[in-house]
Amino acid sequence: MDRLVVEGGRPLEGTIGISGSKNAALPILIATLLTDEPCVVENCPTALRDIKTTVRLLESLGKRATVDGSSVRVESTGSLKTQAPYEIVKQMRASVLAAGPLLARFGLVRVPIPGGCAIGLRPIDIHLKGFEALGARRIADQGDIIMSAARLNAGPLRLRFPSVGATENLMMAAAATPGRTTISGAAREPEIADLGAFLTKLGAKVSGAGTSTVVVEGRARLKGARHAVIPDRIEAGTFLIAAAAARGRLRLTRADPAHLEAVIDALRRTGAAVKTGRGWIEIRMEKRPKPVSIRTAPYPGFPTDLQAPWTALMTLATGFAKVRETVFENRFMHAAELARMGAQIAASGATAVVAGVERLSGAPIMASDLRAGAALLIAALAAKGRTVISRVYHIDRGYEAVEKKLARAGARVERQK
């Protein structure tokens, strides 16, 4: 298993190009199940394991998917299967997104109950309730979810919580269901707006994607399309926070600052100088960060996926900061590992209080999930001495060629096989 060896304490200086968004590419690739015509999805982070798993999922359902650099071409090979294999779903929770398109097109879908990251319970009741409101029935429940419907009926839906996955799943189901479906209480993440743009290219009419009310005019038959995925705001945010922790001057290209307002605002309050323009963000940090408390929330709030990186930054603050997690349970697994590097964090329930220290020191540490892994990497870049991070496969789920990108900004990060 790979490890990352980081010689910390060097400022980040240079330019990093941001990849396409993993969380936008996943539903868009899965939405190609809605049509028999060819689709090309560009700017996909195809080096990421979750994208490879998605490609395998499409193939297991009967599509042919060809990866060429960062684009994925998806074509039909005949009829589609309506059953997602457990072996794939257990590796990637987002596989459940195949349910919406398949149910709407074929009136039947069977998906194993998903696995995925070890953060909290992550139920899928909002997805299922939504399908039921569109007229589907749940016919069995033994480790698998089976949903059936002679046909789905478009109509109004209201979500009890703005779940990103449920919003996407229901938008896809609605796109292949003739008539008008209104999803209120929808998630507002930029990835949802991107999916809406793709579904519109397929021939559905989607308005309000990216607001809390999404209206989808579905069609029985959808066509093929070509689409370039938006930049990964979480990857960009991670590098910005890394530069604030390690100091220096970092420029991100192919990034969208409009998707990172809450994070850029918090960074400025720590004392970082952040400049933005069309497609780029630049950060300069020369001193220890001021403490800035944050509370995660659905978009446009502070993203839960950057909570662990933010906690890592606050371990170096000139005072106390409070970090509250409101989206997922059990998302402070990085606290214990950061403590091994000298961080002072008291985590209890959904809140962590971080007392900033002058410096962290390198240590052998272990990534426990994707974003906790990113937090450890940030701490390692800022720490004095050498840090060895094991279980790097967690980090590889969300960050393409992370050591190469960081090396371009002067970091000393090496992968050991």
Catalytic residues: 117
Segment near ligand UD1 (CB under 6 A); pick from 161-169, 215-223, 241-249, 334-342: 161-169
Beta-carbon contacts of residue 293 (< 8 Å; ≥ 6 apart)? 321, 322, 323, 324
> How far is the C-alpha of 312 from the C-alpha of 301, rounded, in Å?
19
Task: Tell me which stretch binds ligand UD1 (CB under 6 A): 80-88, 164-172, 285-293, 346-354.
Answer: 164-172
CA distance 61 to 269: 48
Q: Which stretch binds ligand UD1 (CB under 6 A): 68-76, 115-123, 197-205, 358-366?
A: 115-123
Q: Which stretch binds ligand UD1 (CB under 6 A): 116-124, 265-273, 307-315, 377-385?
A: 116-124
For the segment 165-184, give every residue that binds ligand UD1 (CB under 6 A): 165-166
Quick note: the x/- pattern for ligand UD1 over 292-331, rule CB under 6 A, is: ------------xx---------------------xx---
| Interaction between residue 121 and ligand UD1 (CB under 6 A) | yes
Measured from the Cβ of residue 122, the count of other Cβ atoms closer than 10 Å reads: 17
Check binding of 400 to ligand UD1 (CB under 6 A): no
**Taking a C-beta distance cutoff of 8 angstroms, is the pair 186, 146 a contact?**
no
Site string for ligand UD1, 123-152 (x = CB under 6 A): xxxxx-------------------------
Smallest gap, in angstroms, from Cβ of residue 256 to ligand UD1? Answer: 16
* 120 is a site residue for ligand UD1 (CB under 6 A): yes
Residues touching ligand UD1, count (CB under 6 A): 22
CB of 248 to ligand UD1, least distance (A): 27
What is the closest distance, in whole angstroms, from the C-beta atom of residue 327 to ligand UD1 in the complex? 5
User: Can residue 23 be called a binding residue for ligand UD1 (CB under 6 A)?
Assistant: yes
Residue 239 or 341: the one with the smaller Cβ distance to ligand UD1 is: 239
Q: Which helix (H) or strand (E) is 7 found in, with range?
A: strand 3-8
Pick one of 48, 74, 88, 94: the residue that binds ligand UD1 (CB under 6 A). 94
The helix/strand/coil state of 217 is: strand
Q: Does 163 bind ligand UD1 (CB under 6 A)?
A: yes
Least Å from the CB of residue 30 to ligand UD1: 10
336, 312 Cβ separation under 8 angstroms? no
CB 288 within 8 A of CB 249: no
d(CA 148, CA 131): 9
Q: Which residues pair with 280 in a beta bridge?
A: 253, 277
Q: Which is nearer to ligand UD1, 193 or 413 (CB)?
A: 193
Round to the nearest angstrom and report the end-to-end CA distance of the chain: 6
Query: Applying CB under 6 A, does 270 fall inside the site for ligand UD1?
Result: no
Kindly provide the b/e burial profile for residues 131-169, where b requires at least 16 CB atoms within 10 angstroms of the residue's own CB. bebbebeeeeeeeebbbbbeebebeebebeebbbbbbbb
Rounded-to-integer distance, Cα 381 and Cα 385, Å: 9
**Closer by beta carbon to ligand UD1, 127 or else 288:** 127
E strand intervals along 48-107:
63-68, 71-76
Binding flag, residue 341, ligand UD1 (CB under 6 A): no
Radius of gyration, alpha carbons of the chain: 21
How far apart CA 164 and CA 167 sit, in angstroms, is 5
Binding site for ligand UD1 (CB under 6 A): 23, 26, 94, 120-127, 161, 163-166, 187, 191, 304-305, 327-328
